[in-house]
Structure 1
Amino acid sequence: MGDAAVELSSTTDELAQLRIEKEGHSLKDTAVTNGHNPEKEGEGDAGVSDIKKKKKKKRKKKKKTGNTENGDDNNNEQPKSPTEQTDPPSVPISRFYPNGGFPVGQLHEYIDANSYRTTSAEMRDRERIEEDLYESVREAAEVHRQVRKYMKPYIKPGVRLIDMCERLESANRALVGAQDGDLSRGIAFPTGCSLNHVAAHYTPNKGDNTVLQYDDVMKVDFGTQINGRIIDCAWTVHFNPKFNPLVEGVQAATEAGIKAAGIDVRLCDVGAAVQEVMESNEVELDGKVYPVKSIRNLHGHSIGPYQIHAGKSVPIVRGGEQVKMEEGEFYAIETFGSTGKGFVIEDLECSHYMKDFNAPRVNLRSSKARSLLSTIDKNFGTLAFCRRFLDRLGEEKYLMGLKALVDSGIVNPYPPLCDQKGCYTAQFEHTLVLKPTHKEVLSRGDDF
Structure 2
Amino acid sequence: MDEEEKASYRKAGDIAKDVREWSRGLVKPDAKVFDVAGQIESRIKESGGEMAFPVNICINDITAHYTPRAGDETKIRERDVVTIDLGVHINGCIADTAYTMDLSGDYGGMLRANEEALSSVIESIKPGISTGDLGEVVQSTLEDAGYKPIENLTGHEVKQYNLHAGISIPNVPVSYEKEIEEGMVLAIEPFATDGAGRVIESKQAEIFSLEELRPVRMRDARIMLNEIEKTRKALPFAARWFSKKISPLRLNILLRDLTSQGILHKYPILHEKEGGVVSQFEHTLIVTEDGCEVTT
TM-score, normalised on structure 1? 0.63
Shift of 1:325: 1.0
Where 1:309 maps in the other structure, the secondary structure is strand
Report if aligned partners of 1:233, 1:429 keep a CA contact under 8 Å in 2: yes
Please list, as runs of the form range in 1=range in 2, the aligned pairs for 1:41-56 lying within 5 A after superposition: none
Question: Relative CO higher for 1 or 2, CA cutoff 8 Å, sep ≥ 6?
Answer: 2
Q: Closer, same or farther in 2 for the Cα pair 1:413/1:374, shift >3 Å? A: same
Please list the CA deviations of residues 49-103 of structure 1 after superposition, one character each: whole Å capped at 9, or x if unmatched: xxxxxxxxxxxxxxxxxxxxxxxxxxxxxxxxxxxxxxxxxxxxxxxxxxxxxxx
The worse-fitting range, judged by mean Cα deviation, of 138-147 and 364-373 is 364-373
Assess if the C-alpha contact under 8 Å between 1:271 and 1:320 holds in 2: no
Structure 1 segment 227-238 matched on structure 2, within 5 A = 227-238=91-102
Moved more, 225-234 or 135-144: 135-144
Q: How big is the shift at 1:145?
A: 1.8
Equivalent residue, structure 1, for 2:36: 164
Pair 152,212 (structure 1): closer, same or farther in 2 beyond 3 Å: same
Who wins on radius of gyration, i.e. which is larger? 1
Normalized per residue, the structure richer in strand is 2
1:308-363 Cα shifts (integer Å, max 9, x gaps): 0002111100124221111111000111111111111111521111112xx2x533
Question: Do the aligned partners of 2:194 and 2:276 also contact (CA within 8 Å) in 1?
Answer: yes
Letter in 1 for 2:22: Y
Aligned with 2:26: secondary structure?
coil
Q: How many residues align?
A: 294
Whether the 8 Å CA contact 2:191–2:278 is kept in 1: the answer is: yes
Letter in 2 for 1:295: I
Quote the Cα distance in structure 2 between the aligned partners of 1:206 and 1:227.
28
Q: 1:307, CA displacement in angstroms?
A: 0.3
2:246 aligned partner: 395
Q: 1:175 matched to which residue of 2? A: 47
CA contact (8 A) 1:267 1:320 kept: no
CA contact (8 A) 2:148 2:192 kept: yes
Q: Return the offset for 1:422.
A: 3.8
Secondary structure, counterpart of 1:153 in structure 2: helix
| 1:419 CA displacement | 1.1
Could you say which residue in structure 2 is the equivalent of 1:404? 257
Which one-letter code corresponds to 2:40 in the other structure? Answer: L
The normalised TM-score by structure 2 is 0.94
- 1:136 aligned to 2:2? no
1:249-260 mapped onto 2 (5 Å cutoff): 249-260=113-124
8 Å CA contact retained: 1:189, 1:224: yes
**1:336 maps to 2:188:** no
In structure 1, the gaps of 5 or more residues are 1-128, 177-184, 283-291, 444-448
- 1:299 aligns with 154
**Among residues 137, 155, 163, which one is paired with 2:27 in the alignment?**
155
* RMSD over aligned Cα atoms: 1.6
Opposite residue 395 of structure 1, the aligned amino acid is: I
Aligned to 2:140: 276
C-alpha distance after superposition, 1:135-154 (max 9, x if no partner): 11111111112212322222
Unmatched 5+ residue regions in structure 2? none
Q: Helix, strand or coil for the counterpart of 1:259? A: helix
